Amino acid sequence: MSYYDYKMSLELSIKDPPFAALIMAAMRKADTDNTYKLKSMWPEIYHELEKRYHTPGGLIDGEHAEEVKT
């Protein structure tokens, strides 16, 4: 890791995203080995990410885009 990584973590922290969002983002960026590790630790988050990835707009179970808070 580097000072840049540390500074980026501060920026992310200021935005205060939900923990699951951070894990999903890490899963999107991870290589095969790290994806496996993340999936092992948070299988429910992985399965939701995978499900949303394969649906139009990431919406599942009758969700509507206007319902999603950003």
Question: Which of residues 62 and 13 earns the better pLDDT score?
Answer: 13
Helices (H) and strands (E) in the chain, counts: 4, 0
Map out the domains of the chain as residue ranges.
Answer: 16-67
Q: What's the average model confidence in pLDDT over 55-65? A: 88
pLDDT digits (tens, 9 = 90+) for 26-49: 999 999 999 999 999 999 999 999
C-alpha gyration radius of the chain: 14
% of the chain residues with pLDDT over 90: 80
Residue 65 pLDDT grade (very low, low, confident, very high; cuts 50, 70, 90): confident
Predicted confidence at residue 66, as pLDDT, reads 75
